[in-house]
Amino acid sequence: MLGQPVTARACANIALVKYWGKRDAVLNLPATGSLSLTLAALATQTTVTFDRALAQDELELDGFSARFADTARTSTFLELVRAAAGITMRARVASRNEFPTASGLASSASGYAALALAASKAAGLKLSERELSILARRGSGSAARSIYGGFVRMHAGDTSESAYAEPVTSSLVDRVRMVIAVVGGGAPKSHGSRDAMEHTAATSPYYRPWVELVPKDLDAALAALATGDLEALGTIAEANALAMHASAMAARPAVIYWQPATIAVHNEVRGLRACGVAAWATMDAGPHVKVLTTEEDAPTIAMRVKDIDGVTAVTISASGPAASIVPPA
């Protein structure tokens, strides 16, 4: 198997209860748990080949040689896989996103989940889903959740071994949709999530209250999933995202991801909700808005937000599957 290319596919996920802040930067241990929905429409496919002839790791993103910083981060991650497999061979990694890279559409989640699966298999490791989730977490906190499909809960854990994600069953999984409103054409984001969450933790007076809030939101969201109460889930998701952004905005200097179109989409969502449409907004480290809704209401929301000035693309996504190996063609 070593030396053979292995391809894996993973879908991005959008957090309904966010992860924003770490307890340990080296192990990438989150300060709190989180909860997400894996999305079918946002997938990454990654091929890894360990090759004796390579002097260093190589990374290609969407068909182009990656920037030095991205290659270095991938190489640091591959070191973990090499150490676990007891090999020293360098690897060629080719990754393709089905959506704009680094636009705040969580490409690091699908990217590191696909890389963890492809690289571990290519290195000859046989990891359980939990071990894969722990490995993916070392690449990016949110990637630990993209190992699974549907609703996924991440545990904060006390140690590296206890900070993993696991799936949460809910009758809502087939009913829910996410309407993704891309704001600003998928331009690279102003602050990467890694630096921005560290800066928030170090300087925001609202960071502590945020960390205290998350376990309560997580419990309430899990209860809503258990009873299939979409309205309760949506209400928590929207409030939690706003609390995360409030903590980031209060950082010094401020971290502001919002654009005028971001606010316009939020206003549209509130207006639709007042008219009885199932719609709740959430946002990550970028200006885009993701609207949690139902299969029936998703087309109405998509139609209303696509004409907002500054919204450059709208996608409707259903819940997505777990990360998987793509058989050779």
Point out which residues bind ligand PMV (CB under 6 A): 15, 18-20, 34, 106, 108-109, 140-142, 193-194, 284-285
- Based on CB atoms, which residue is closest to ligand PMV, 206 or 300? 206
Shortest Å, Cβ 38 to ligand PMV: 11
- Based on CB atoms, which residue is closest to ligand PMV, 51 or 198? 198
Shortest Å, Cβ 52 to ligand PMV: 32
Measured between alpha carbons, how far is 114 from 76 in angstroms, rounded to an integer? 16
Measured between alpha carbons, how far is 222 from 193 in angstroms, rounded to an integer? 25
Picking from 13, 59, 303, 329, the residue whose alpha carbon sits closest to that of residue 167 is 13
Q: Is the peptide bond before 100 cis (omega within 30 degrees of 0)?
A: no
- Based on CB atoms, which residue is closest to ligand PMV, 6 or 176? 176
Shortest Å, Cβ 124 to ligand PMV: 27
Please name the amino acid found at residue 164: Y
- Based on CB atoms, which residue is closest to ligand PMV, 229 or 284? 284
Shortest Å, Cβ 123 to ligand PMV: 23
Picking from 213, 206, 193, the residue whose alpha carbon sits closest to that of residue 102 is 193
Residue 26 half-sphere exposure toward CB, CA atoms < 13 A: 2
Shortest Å, Cβ 114 to ligand PMV: 14
Q: Which helix (H) or strand (E) holds 16?
A: strand 6-17
- Based on CB atoms, which residue is closest to ligand PMV, 50 or 280? 280
- 299-326 b/e with 16+ CB inside 10 Å = b? ebbbebbeebebbeebbbbbbbebbeee
- Based on CB atoms, which residue is closest to ligand PMV, 49 or 74? 74
Shortest Å, Cβ 160 to ligand PMV: 16
- Based on CB atoms, which residue is closest to ligand PMV, 18 or 304? 18
Instruction: Collapse the DSSP code of 123 into the 3-class scheme (helix H, G, I; strand E, B; otherwise coil) and give the result.
Output: coil
Picking from 78, 67, 86, 68, the residue whose alpha carbon sits closest to that of residue 118 is 78
Measured between alpha carbons, how far is 180 from 107 in angstroms, rounded to an integer? 14
The rounded radius of gyration (Å) of the Cα atoms in the chain is 19
Residue 104 is given by DSSP the state S
- Based on CB atoms, which residue is closest to ligand PMV, 19 or 50? 19
Shortest Å, Cβ 55 to ligand PMV: 30
Measured between alpha carbons, how far is 274 from 191 in angstroms, rounded to an integer? 33
Shortest Å, Cβ 133 to ligand PMV: 13
